[in-house]
Amino acid sequence: MGNEAWERATHPHPRDRASFIPLLHRQLEQSQRLSLVKKGDILTFDELELHFFHSNGHTPGLLCADLRNGQDRLVYASDLIPGRFWVHLPISMGYDRFPELLIDEKNALMTSLAKENAWIFYVHDPDFAVSRVQSDNEHKTFVAIDAQKDLAINWR
């Protein structure tokens, strides 16, 4: 978890309070398993690199994970893009704190994912766990590509 998100979780704004369970925060701290990372941090595990990028569109301080292995890439965008329908740029959730900023953040991420033929992992999609993303130039947005037809990824 990121420092800013942890601060927000432990001292939530009234709008976000229902998203956080104070008992869990205390348990995490007491377990001594809580690690706070900063945007831009890179963790390495053999040939894997875990990058983190910062988002303020969904909730301030959201930290997303970007796992890389050579040319392969998998992004865990959390609630920035919770499912394949949210790949379409103008789609956002009522929970998003700053929808216009979120759309700008999604555009930057989707552009890089489409360019690199990378994967995105969804936290709230009932049918797709992952997909690749393609640019839809005609409609000036992006579309998710069915992962069932394209699972040739080697994460060792």
β-bridge pairing 119-121 and 72-76: parallel
What CATH number should be reported for the domain holding residue 87? 3.60.15.10
- Residues 18, 1 within the same domain: yes
List 145's β-bridge partners, or say none.
132
- Residues 25, 91 within the same domain: no
**pLDDT for position 81:** 94
Print pLDDT tens along the chain (156 aa).
788 889 988 998 898 888 888 899 889 989 999 989 887 789 999 989 999 988 988 888 889 999 999 889 999 999 999 999 999 999 998 888 899 999 999 999 999 999 999 999 999 999 899 999 999 888 889 999 986 655 444 433
pTM: 0.85
β-bridge pairing 42-45 and 62-69: unpaired
- Residues 1, 44 within the same domain: no
**pLDDT for position 84:** 93
**pLDDT for position 5:** 87
Q: How far apart are CA 58 and CA 94, in angstroms?
A: 9
The total domain count for the chain is 2
**pLDDT for position 51:** 94
Does residue 155 form part of some domain? no
Q: How far apart are CA 52 and CA 39, in angstroms?
A: 6
- Residues 11, 79 within the same domain: no
Does residue 71 form part of some domain? yes
Does residue 72 form part of some domain? yes
Does residue 97 form part of some domain? yes
- Residues 87, 24 within the same domain: no
Does residue 154 form part of some domain? no
Domain that holds residue 9: 1-36
- Residues 43, 115 within the same domain: yes
- Residues 68, 112 within the same domain: yes
**pLDDT for position 150:** 52
Structure-token pair, residue 14:
């009234």
Q: How far apart are CA 122 and CA 133, in angstroms?
A: 12
Q: How far apart are CA 103 and CA 89, in angstroms?
A: 6
Does residue 46 form part of some domain? yes
